[in-house]
Amino acid sequence: MPQVEKPKPLEDARSTPLPGVLFTSFEPSGDEHAAAVIAELKRREPRLPIYAWGGPAMQAAGAIVVERTGEDAVMGLPGLAKVLEHTRINNRVCEWLDGTPGINLLVPVDSPAANFPICKIAKRRGLGVMHLVAPQVWAWGGWRIRKLRRLTDGLLCLLPFEEPWFRERGLEAKFVGHPLFDEAVPREQLTREASAYPAGTPRIALFPGSRPGEIARNWPMLLDAYRALVREHPETVGVVAATTPAVGDRLRALAGHEGGWPATLTCAVGATDAVIHWSELALVVSGTVTLQIARQQRPMVI
């Protein structure tokens, strides 16, 4: 009687390696956006290998951080230093991808100047590319649509009008919503925190940005505007929001070269929402903080 081969056991699906995902983020806001997505991916599939050029929020969410980026990373460097840092990062990504098998998806987060070259590297290696936070070319570079088409397979959009705008121009796009609006404003908590700030009126909040370059460009102008308000309305009080202690130190140092620190101005570190809640008017550099201000329905001058 012929021997009958016993059927081989089915391979345990959970032993099959999963394809890896690489996130690349170069700013604190991108770190937060990516962290929310990483946390949800890990909740759905804890074994999914997720790597990142990113910050502490992405690491806390479960990503393996290959290289730390963020506060004073490439986006904040001036001139030649920025070019050299772009080149270093691109070379490092190439080396890492060549030495790390199984990566099949790149998720670039915002920061198109830093991420577009990495998208090109990924495409050359056959990776899929899915942008988280669609580059805002509708605002500053509609002519870059053709380049974006070459460098991405899809866009995850934070603002509702972006999906139809990109689709009309031949890109795959999906509105996923902005994480800022996922939860209600914790008004009682913010009221308690804001009680530490100066009393008086009008209450002016200043948001000069977080990167050295944008602070150097915008902080003197914001200071001049604040001083003009104080001259016109001597009872004016102000709070400037610094994202980190290092940013606060930078603001004070620059103010020293711009006529000194105003006596009625306070610096608050890491308390953006509380500063917004306290304020009656915000003077702000364009960026994610404008959405935070809109969320609390405060008037602003950008």
Give the C-alpha separation, 105 to 108, whole Å.
10
pTM: 0.74
91 vs 17 pLDDT, higher one: 91
Query: Average pLDDT, stretch 97-106?
Result: 94
Give the contacts of 53 (CB within 8 A, at least 6 positions apart): 22, 23, 24, 25, 26, 65, 66, 67, 69, 89, 93
| The pLDDT of residue 257 is above 80 | yes
| The pLDDT of residue 243 is above 60 | yes
Where does the pLDDT of residue 236 fall: very low under 50, low under 70, confident under 90, or very high at 90 and above?
very high
| The pLDDT of residue 72 is above 60 | no
| The pLDDT of residue 8 is above 50 | no
pLDDT of residue 79: 55
Where does the pLDDT of residue 2 fall: very low under 50, low under 70, confident under 90, or very high at 90 and above?
very low
Query: Average pLDDT, stretch 194-222?
Result: 92
The one-letter amino acid code at 152 reads: T
- Torsion over CA of 85, 60, 105 and 44, rounded to 10 degrees? -170
Q: Percent of the chain at pLDDT above 70? A: 90
Q: List domains and CATH numbers for the chain.
A: 13-133 (3.40.50.2000), 187-301 (3.40.50.2000)
Backbone angles phi, psi at 103, to 5 degrees: -80, 125
The one-letter amino acid code at 135 reads: P
Q: Is 133 left (phi over 0), alpha (psi -120 to 50) or beta?
A: left
Query: Average pLDDT, stretch 36-42?
Result: 95
43 vs 112 pLDDT, higher one: 43
Q: Percent of the chain at pLDDT above 90? A: 67
Where does the pLDDT of residue 153 fall: very low under 50, low under 70, confident under 90, or very high at 90 and above?
very high
| Lowest-pLDDT choice from 68-72, 221-225, 231-235 | 68-72
Give the DSSP letter string of 117-168.
HHHHHHHHTT-EEEEES---HHHH-GGGHHHHHHH-SEEEESSTTHHHHHHT
How high does pLDDT run on average in the chain? 88
Closest CA to 91 of 102, 83, 80, 101: 83
Give the C-alpha separation, 121 to 116, whole Å.
9
pLDDT of residue 137: 87
Give the C-alpha separation, 156 to 104, whole Å.
18
Please answer whether residues 240 and 258 qualify as being in contact, where contact means their C-beta atoms are separated by less than 8 angstroms. no
